[in-house]
Structures are given as C-alpha cells and as structure tokens.
Amino acid sequence: MCGIFAVHGLTKPGQDRARFIALSKRLRHRGPDWSGCFVGQSSVLVHERLAIVGVESGAQPLVSEDGKQILAVNGEIYNHIALRQSVGPDVKFKTHSDCEVILPLYKQHDTALCSLLDGMFSFVLLDESVTPSRIIAARDPIGITTLYQGWSSERPDVVFFASELKSLVDDCDKIIAFPPGHVYDSKDDSTTRYYKPSWWNGDLDGPEATIPDTPADLKVLRESLEAAVRKRLMSEVPYGVLLSGGLDSSLIAAIASRETEKVAKAQYELRQKKLKDGYTSPTGDDSLVTEEATLAAWPQLHSFSIGLENSPDLLAARKAAHYLGTVHHEYVFTVQEGLDALPEVIYHLETYDVTTVRASTPMYLLSRKIKAMGVKMVLSGEGSDEILGGYLYFHAAPDARSFHQECVKRVKNLHTADCLRANKSTMAWGLEARVPFLDKAFLEVAMNIDPKYKEFNKGAAQELDADGCPLMEKYILRKAFDVTGDEKPYLPRSILWRQKEQFSDGVGYSWIDGIKGHAAETISDEQFAKSAERWPEDTPDTKEAYLIRQIFEDLYPSQAAAKTAVRWIPRGDWGCAADPSGRSVSIHNSAYEVDE
C-alpha cells in the first residue's frame, strides 16, 4: 500500500511542483520507502511508496514503454501474474511490480480494465497520447484503500486526488470520499460504477431488490475463504496476522498458518525441481518469478494482539496462537496511553465517528509495535460481520429480508468505517493490512446465501444444532470450519464458537469506559448544552462524541473536511441502544460457554 497525490487540469504544472510534493509529503507515513514525481502537460502525479511486491524495481509513478501513460497506484493486484500473461507476449514489462500490468490493460481495455483487477487499489492514470491529456482514477470495489477527490472554486477546471484528506484540505473547498467501485474519466468529467455484483441491490425496498434464495454450501464457503487468504500471502517482505482471538481473525490466522506451511514446502520443491532441470529465468537471473514465488514464506507465521491487562481478546488470542503454533506477540496498553494517542488517531483517521475512533486507537498502537519489528504486511478480519450479519444487534432484525438488507447496506458502507479504520490505523505507520473477507469471489458466494441461513436464535443463544453447536451469530461460517475427521481442527471449539466481541470491547471494557470518563471530565455541561449551536449538522449526542468532534475540528477546521466524515448510527428502529458498543446489546449479557 502507498500514498498517491494527483492534480489534473493545470495550465503551468511545473510551477506548482514543489508545493504538490510538499502536500504529498503529508502522506509519507503511508509510503516511507521512496517518493516519485511526474510532471506532465497539465498534470502532476506524486507517489509515496511502501514496497511490498517488486521491492527492488517497482518505484512509481510507473511509465509505459512509449512514455505516454503514467501511473500512480496505492494497493495490491493479486492476479497480476495471470494478467501479465493475458496481455500477450509483445508487452515488455520494466519491473516486477504487481501494479505495472494496469498500463497495458488500459491500452487494451480502456476504463473496463478496472473490472479485471482482483485486489485492493486506488490509482490515477495519466494518458498523454491524446489531446487534451486524459486522466482516469479508480477505487477498488469495496473501498479497502482510501481515496479522496477535491475541487477548488478558485480553479474550477482543476481536479485533485489524494489517498488522504490531509493533502487536500488546504487547496480544496469541496472534497468527497471517492466512491468505491467507480472510475472517474476526465474525458467527459464522469464518474461511473464499474463494480456491479449480483447482490448489489439487495438493500432496496422495491421490486428491484435482489434477495437471494441460494442454500448455504459450507464447503464452498470454506474453500472460497481459504482461496482469499492464499492469494493475500503475495509478498516479498515479512508479514503476519492480527489476532484478536475472535472468530474472524482466528480463522484468518488458522488458514494463513496452513497456507504458510504449504507455500514453504511448495516453494522449496519448485526451486529444487527447476534448479535440477537447469532452469534459467527470462531475465537472466534465478528469481523464479512465478505466482508461487511471490507468496510470502516466513518459516513460521507471526501473530499480533493488543489489549488492556487480562482483556478478553488477549486471553483468547493467546489460546488461539498456542493452538496454531504461531510466533505470538502480545502488547498491553493502558487507558491513559489510549487517551494520549486520541489526537494522533483522529489526525490519521480523518473522521469523528465514535465507533471508528474507539476501535482504531488500540489498532493504531499495535501497528506501531508491529512496524517496529520490521513487519510490513498483516492479514486482518474486517468485513465478516457485515457480510454474515455478525454484529449482535442483528439479533433484532424483524425478518430475513430486513436482515439481508442490513448486510448489504453495511457492506456498501464499509469504506466509511471498518475499511477506513483498518487502512488508516495501520498505514499511519507504513503497515499494510489485507482483508480476505472482502475478496470479490468470497463476497459473491457469501452475499448470495439465503439470509434465513445467516439468521440466528433471537434468545440467549442457548439452542444447539444436531451436533451440539450453538445456533448463534455467523453460525454458517463457524460450521463451515467445524470439520471432523483425521485432519487437525482449524481452531479449538472455545475459539470457533466464542461469542462476538466488538474490537473496542474485546481489548478491555475499561477502554470505552475510560474514554467516556475522560470526556465527562473534559467537556462541561455548559459546552455540551450548546452542541447544536456549534455543530447544527451531525450534532454530537454524548460528551464522548463532543470531545472527538472537537479534536477533529481542531485538526481539520473546514466544512469541506467535516462533510467527508460519516457517523455510524445504531438501528433505533430495531430497538437498538444508542451506544454502538456490543455490550449495550442485550444478547451480550446472555453469554454462553461450550466445552473444549
């Protein structure tokens, strides 16, 4: 993952080069490994690089063989090997970068190239073979990577793009979060949706709504998630997994552990065979650049967890790591350390959403520890709860249709919350987070399952299926990995069937209580009473929300910045509590236990 900054429509782009490099420098935490700048006829592209694949040769902006197309990318293209083969033997590549394949794909498919990419990405591509020069910009289907678009009323013909808000706020008085699954084209100043999966309209109320009726195939569900994890092991640098001890992160860790062992064995056997056969690579070295050779293969998987002393997540993660045999790294933080970090966290998050700030703070602290170890990439479990209705408030869904509509709505809005948190909390320290649950193929399987198979017991989650497993949230995912036979189980039953804890709860209940207490001491009753006067729109409804909004405004005082933030509002129409913490959902207090 990297940082990109681009401006198009300038009359004298060379005059602003130094300023734009300075604005891009605000993104350097995303790409500490190298910086690059290209000045075109009416455009400037700047890139801050975090080297993960093609480490030695993938500096950006990338330039096509004829020098007419220039590309700046933030992200990873997992199917780049297959795409390289698809463009034909006449295309000559300059680097081993997974992103370079976008250049020939553009020449062959124009903006339709976006649908061919399997990965997480935001990119800006400049085409100087046409007059006037053309720029296209695109963001991955769900918005795993971040991208903003901005305009200035002083220069109405100029358009700006940046990975983060902080590079645009000084120059733009209108800023939007660029919509996921869309592509912008300066040729006609259009922004169009390219990602159109079969389940996309499932949140609509009318006859155009698509409510699936496909039964849950547990084998397909399991294998598609395994494939999603496998492709995300593509790396040339040390990597690991974020392990909270909850279902989602533990499953990702379990699959990654198995795949790491397979990859290490397969890579060794491949190398031995090719060397025995006298293999010489096309580039004249012995790099063996194949799909298998681009998969990371540390001898043993490393896992990372964080929490307050003796928090639920730390204890569960320790148990999962011991079972999986990972090299486990455990970090304990204090409430005061979290409070001290709040301004930094909000600076990097660029939002005032309470839920996002709560959950991002421990993730931000953990990311710093991980990067200090020399690790550049981690796998994470975001997306599962939205896809499968795993949040505890889904217990309150009135019917299967409403359940599915909420799932689709939450997946569509992931870029405003969990994806934003995972991307910015980690990239604040130059650490890349990859999220297998948001794989396009896995989404196609999981989002097309009849919602009646995703719904769960509305009581105290004590009912058991025929195998003695509790009928609970994300039941089909748990059941898919509850395999029996000669093979070692993926996870211990106490982890596989552990009740949902939201990350901000699981790191220790005192964390949320600590923020609330700090806000109560910091924000006076008089200040809070005037919340609506200070912020007529998105008025904070608690002192905690007031404090977070105040910090955000100190950092980003413009209206343009405030309008990019999106708050998560619990489903009051389902009878849900106003506080977004999982502990406020009644089902949480009816916790259940299962035997080992």
Q: What is the CATH number of the domain that holds 168?
A: 3.60.20.10
CATH number of the domain where residue 406 is located = 3.40.50.620
Exposed / middle / buried, residue 276 (Cβ in 10 Å: 0-12, 13-18, 19+): exposed
Shared domain for 172 and 27, answered yes or no, is yes
Question: pLDDT at residue 251 above 50?
Answer: yes
Q: Which of 170, 193, 216 is the last residue of a domain?
A: 193
pLDDT at 548: 98
pLDDT band at 458 (very low <50, low <70, confident <90, very high): low
> Tens of pLDDT along 514-529?
999 999 999 999 999 9
Question: pLDDT at residue 284 above 60?
Answer: no
pLDDT at 53: 77
Short-list 434, 440, 295, 291, CA closest to 376: 434
Shared domain for 156 and 225, answered yes or no, is no
What pTM value is reported for the model?
A: 0.92
Question: pLDDT at residue 482 above 90?
Answer: yes
Q: What is the 3-state secondary structure (H, E, C) of 134-154?
A: EEEEEECCCCCCCCEEEEECC
Shared domain for 257 and 189, answered yes or no, is no
pLDDT at 506: 61
CB 270 within 8 Å of CB 293: yes
pLDDT band at 293 (very low <50, low <70, confident <90, very high): low
Annotated binding site: 98, 242, 306, 380-381
The reply to whether 253 falls in a domain is yes
Shared domain for 188 and 211, answered yes or no, is no
In whole angstroms, what is the distance from residue 183 CA to residue 22 CA? 27
Residue partners of 214: CB distance under 8 A and separation at least 6: 448, 449, 450
pLDDT band at 260 (very low <50, low <70, confident <90, very high): confident
Shared domain for 294 and 356, answered yes or no, is yes
pLDDT band at 296 (very low <50, low <70, confident <90, very high): very low
Catalytic residues: 2
Shared domain for 179 and 305, answered yes or no, is no
The reply to whether 259 falls in a domain is yes
Annotated binding site for ATP: 242, 306, 380-381
Question: pLDDT at residue 56 above 50?
Answer: yes
Annotated binding site for L-glutamine: 98
Q: How many domains does the chain have?
A: 2
| Residue 220, token pair as written in the block | 């397909």
Shared domain for 180 and 218, answered yes or no, is no
Question: pLDDT at residue 459 above 70?
Answer: no
Question: pLDDT at residue 592 above 50?
Answer: no
Which amino acid makes up residue 418? D
In whole angstroms, what is the distance from residue 250 CA to residue 235 CA? 21
pLDDT band at 586 (very low <50, low <70, confident <90, very high): low
| Separation of CA 254 from chain center | 20
Percentage of the chain exceeding pLDDT 90: 77
Q: Which of 138, 159, 193 is the last residue of a domain?
A: 193
Question: pLDDT at residue 535 above 60?
Answer: yes
pLDDT at 286: 46
Q: Which domain holds residue 393?
A: 203-590
